[in-house]
């Protein structure tokens, strides 16, 4: 109950985190707008607009960085400046950390939905299956938050944890071959397909859009399995760090 009373303030902090909003909302909106202008009228071999593919990739890519606010709040509230006050407060700090993670993820999903709304109603793109796409955005957001919590709990130097979270985000974008083509070998093929949450979620949305639900669920469930596994890891390292 006491942790519940803090959730409103966690959301307020997220909403008023202007740097976070700039990086996770304004920057993608600007990029989406620029790409819509550049790719206007261009279609792929199947006759679908190129922009659809770009918008999907961008909306999911930015979810890779959605956990950054979570790790900053965890660090500030429980491991550095506010640590002493939180320690002497009569509430469950593990549950509080979990609430930050959950609300950080929800906020990241909401930003993803705002990007979907913007790209459909302002830029004219049509999202085939909103519910399925939002589900994949949610998976990506939760995964990012969990990974960031793990980094914050495992690495004592917060700056290093921050760098690792950036490597997680940029690394998977790179491995997905979005920056430049990756070398052709088994390892990179795996990390660019079934070993990469970004390509898995993009693939799942695409497969769902094509009506190939077996493939769509397979790819989404791989991400879900990663979430479940890392969630257990997070619980172990989180409880250890919060002792």
Partner 1 sequence: MTIASMQGVLKRYGSYVALDYIDLDIYEGEIVGLLGPNGAGKTTLIQTLTGMLPADKGKISLFGQSQNPFSNANKEKLGLVTQEVAIFEELTAKECLHFFAGVYGLRGEEKKRRVAEALEFVGLTDQADKIPHKFSGGMKRRLNIACALTHRPKFLIMDEPTVGIDPQSRNHILESVKKLRDQGTTLLYTTHYMEEVQEVASRVIIIDQGQVIKEGTVQQLIQTIQHEEKVKFDVSDPDIIPLDKLEKITGVRQVIASGSQITVISAAGTGNLDRILSVVKEYSSVLGIQADKPNLEDVFLTLTGKQLRDKGE
Q: Where does this chain bind partner 1 (CB under 8 A)?
A: 1-2, 5-6, 9, 12-13, 16-17, 81-85, 87-91
- Which has the closest alpha carbon to 30: 22, 18, 39, 20? 22
- Gap between the Cα atoms of 161 and 38, Å rounded: 36
- Which has the closest alpha carbon to 32: 50, 6, 55? 55
Q: Are 63 and 112 in contact (CB under 8 A)?
A: yes
If the CB atoms of residues 17 and 120 are measured against partner 1, the closer one turns out to be 17
Q: Are 180 and 196 in contact (CB under 8 A)?
A: no
If the CB atoms of residues 6 and 219 are measured against partner 1, the closer one turns out to be 6
CB of 93 to partner 1, least distance (A): 10
CB of 100 to partner 1, least distance (A): 12
DSSP 3-state of 43? strand
Kind and range of the H or E run holding 149: helix 130-154
CB of 84 to partner 1, least distance (A): 5
CB of 72 to partner 1, least distance (A): 11
Q: What is the CA radius of gyration of the chain?
A: 19
CB of 178 to partner 1, least distance (A): 32
If the CB atoms of residues 25 and 174 are measured against partner 1, the closer one turns out to be 25
If the CB atoms of residues 96 and 172 are measured against partner 1, the closer one turns out to be 96
CB count within 10 Å of CB 130 equals 12
If the CB atoms of residues 43 and 92 are measured against partner 1, the closer one turns out to be 92
Name the maximum alpha-carbon separation found in the chain: 62
- Gap between the Cα atoms of 201 and 226, Å rounded: 12
């Amino acid at each position: 109950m006491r942790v519940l009373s803090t959730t409103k303030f966690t959301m307020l902090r997220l909403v008023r985190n202007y740097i976070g909003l700039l990086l996770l909302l304004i920057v993608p909106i600007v990029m989406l707008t620029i790409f819509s202008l550049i790719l206007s009228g261009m279609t792929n071999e199947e006759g679908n607009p190129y922009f659809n593919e770009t918008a999907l990739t961008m909306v999911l890519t930015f979810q890779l960085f959605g956990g950054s606010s979570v790790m900053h709040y965890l660090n500030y509230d429980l491991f550095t400046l506010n640590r002493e006050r939180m320690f002497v407060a009569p509430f469950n700090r593990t549950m509080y950390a979990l609430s930050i993670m959950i609300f950080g993820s929800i906020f990241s999903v909401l930003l993803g939905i705002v990007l979907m709304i913007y790209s459909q109603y302002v830029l004219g793109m049509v999202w085939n299956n909103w519910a399925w796409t939002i589900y994949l955005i949610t998976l990506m957001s939760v995964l990012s938050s969990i990974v960031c919590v793990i980094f914050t709990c495992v690495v004592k130097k917060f700056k290093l944890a921050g760098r690792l979270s950036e490597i997680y985000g940029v690394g998977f974008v790179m491995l997905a071959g979005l920056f430049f083509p990756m070398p052709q070998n088994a390892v990179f093929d795996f990390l660019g397909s079934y070993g990469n949450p970004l390509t898995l979620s993009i693939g799942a949305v695409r497969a769902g859009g094509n009506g190939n639900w077996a493939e769509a669920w397979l790819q989404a469930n791989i991400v879900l399995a990663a979430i479940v596994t890392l969630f257990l890891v997070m619980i172990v390292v989180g409880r250890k760090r919060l002792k």
